[in-house]
Amino acid sequence: MIATILGARPQFIKAAVVSAELKKLGIEEYIIHTGQHYDANMSEVFWKELELPSPAINLNVGSASPGKQIALMLERLEAYLMPFLDKIRLVLVYGDTNSTLAGALAAANLGIPVAHIEAGLRSFDKTMPEEINRVLTDHLSRIFFCSSAQGVKWLKREGIDDQVYEVGDVMADALTRYLPLAEEKIRLENILPFDAGEQFILLTIHRQSNTMSKDRLASLIEAVGTLGMRVFWPVHPRSQQALKDLKLPNNIHLAGPLSYLEMLKVLNHSYKLITDSGGLQKEAYWLKKPCITLRTETEWVETLENKWNRLAPDTESLRSVFGHGPEAGSWKPLYTYAEPASKAIARILGEIYG
Ligand code: UD1
């Protein structure tokens, strides 16, 4: 049996496609939800919409400082994994959240091998909680699934070269599977607070680096306010708190967090994306939408090569890159291989663990 540990919104999306492939191969999976994300629109809506198998258990850790949140997860994960030690052959974790690190550390402490999906990503920015989580998780893992050749190289630089598999990106499989559903089921006019025929920019901001300082967030918002186009911003709860008392320019329209299908639909009909999310940078690329990333660096370096994605670490660069599109004819497939990543992961795990 495989125990999969999930906790945050993007992990539910990634797990949906991998779990489906594990099921096809008859591999038994025990899903543990740490409860890092707990609001209905951050968690439940994804489980329902993506038809993820219900978690065997929800550890209900909720929000807390990183230290307390990870400590609570560790304590509860240990308690729930312990009785199944003779059955669990592997723990599967995704990405770089606090749930990823806690899952990998709890398993490693109990002697259970860990497989890490999205292994080898690096921003080389140690002020990012996600960078700390992913580096530590890689060094606790035994099996590594990388989205690209770059991840394999970065792991090698850290001395990791055994059981490293370049399989592509599971989010590409999710997009392939769910985009037709999003196009069929979701009505833009039910989501957008303005005429759905109008051109708009999709905006998301939720990273600690952009929301911790009110001044930083206020200056980003002010710059987005000058772009001369409607902006639609589905707001993450962390940013909702940070937005209190800030005055919004008239062209920025807020909404609550969207479901996965809603997000795909909105992105697919947007003019451009401005974001600090990791996953959305790739989704924009696959949907051929130019993206501006509000950070000094990105782990998804391949998306920068032909300027479909541009970094804008400050408001001046945001204004200056906004008018520039990608080079004509420069789009090429990224993070996708002949065998879909989710299928390759299930096949490899099946070969190793039978
Ligand atoms: C986490 C991940 C981040 C990922 C993001 C996806 C870490 C360190 N970061 O960030 O990499 O991009 O998930 O969404 O794990 N909150 C709610 N309701 C919820 C969840 C959170 O109100 O259901 C609020 C809480 O006030 C909480 C804050 O949002 O303190 C931040 O939540 P947290 O899970 O700590 O990190 P995210 O910002 O969601």
CATH of the domain at 245: 3.40.50.2000
Residue 210 sits in the same domain as residue 129: no
Question: Which atom in ligand 1 lies closest to the alpha carbon of residue 10?
Answer: 6
CA of 337 to the centre of ligand 1 (A): 31
- Tally the domains of the chain: 2
Residue 161 sits in the same domain as residue 12: yes
Write down the pLDDT at residue 353: 86
Residue 221 sits in the same domain as residue 275: yes
Residue 20 sits in the same domain as residue 116: yes
Q: What is the mean pLDDT of residues 99-114?
A: 98
Q: What is the mean pLDDT of residues 14-19?
A: 98
CA of 116 to the centre of ligand 1 (A): 20
Confidence of residue 83 (pLDDT cuts 50, 70, 90): very high
Q: What is the mean pLDDT of residues 203-211?
A: 96
Residue 69 · residue 36 · CB < 8 Å: yes
Residue 23 sits in the same domain as residue 163: yes
Residue closest by Cα to atom 13 of ligand 1: 8
Question: Which atom in ligand 1 lies closest to the alpha carbon of residue 207?
Answer: 38
Write down the pLDDT at residue 152: 98
Residue closest by Cα to atom 35 of ligand 1: 63
Q: Does some domain include residue 203?
A: yes
Catalytic residue status for 206:
yes
CA of 238 to the centre of ligand 1 (A): 6
Q: Does some domain include residue 177?
A: no
Task: Residue 292: give the domain boundaries.
Answer: 188-322
> Residues with Cβ within 6 A of ligand 1?
8-10, 36-39, 42, 63, 96-98, 129-130, 206, 236-238
Q: Report how far residue 248's alpha carbon sits from residue 230's, in angstroms, rounded to the nearest whole number.
A: 12
CA of 330 to the centre of ligand 1 (A): 35
Q: Does some domain include residue 139?
A: yes
The active-site residue, picked from 33, 37, 206, 269, is 206
Question: Which atom in ligand 1 lies closest to the alpha carbon of residue 100?
Answer: 15
Q: What is the pLDDT of the chain when averaged over all its residues? A: 97
CA of 122 to the centre of ligand 1 (A): 20
Report pLDDT digits (tens) over 18-69. 999 999 999 999 999 999 999 999 999 999 999 998 898 999 999 999 999 9
Q: What is the mean pLDDT of residues 136-159?
A: 98
Write down the pLDDT at residue 338: 96
Residue 202 sits in the same domain as residue 163: no
3-state SS track over the chain: CEEEEECCHHHHHHHHHHHHHHHHCCCCEEEEECCCCCCCCCCHHHHHHCCCCCCCEECCCCCCCHHHHHHHHHHHHHHHHHHHCCCCCEEEEECCCHHHHHHHHHHHHCCCCEEEECCCCCCCCCCCHHHHHHHHHHHHCCEEEECCHHHHHHHHHCCCCCCEEECCCHHHHHHHHHHHHHHHHCCHHHCCCCCCCCCEEEEECCCHHHHCCHHHHHHHHHHHHCCCCEEEEECCHHHHHHHCCCCCCCCEEEECCCCHHHHHHHHHCCCEEEECCCHHHHHHHHCCCCEEECCCCCCCHHHHCCCCEEECCCHHHHHHHHCCCCCCCCCCCCCCCCCCHHHHHHHHHHHHHC
Write down the pLDDT at residue 93: 99
Q: What is the mean pLDDT of residues 343-352?
A: 97
Residue 227 sits in the same domain as residue 259: yes
Question: Which pTM was predicted?
Answer: 0.97
Write down the pLDDT at residue 176: 98
* pLDDT higher than threshold 90 for residue 328: no
Residue closest by Cα to atom 19 of ligand 1: 37
Q: What is the mean pLDDT of residues 160-187?
A: 98
Q: Report how far residue 11's alpha carbon sits from residue 174's, in angstroms, rounded to the nearest whole number.
A: 11
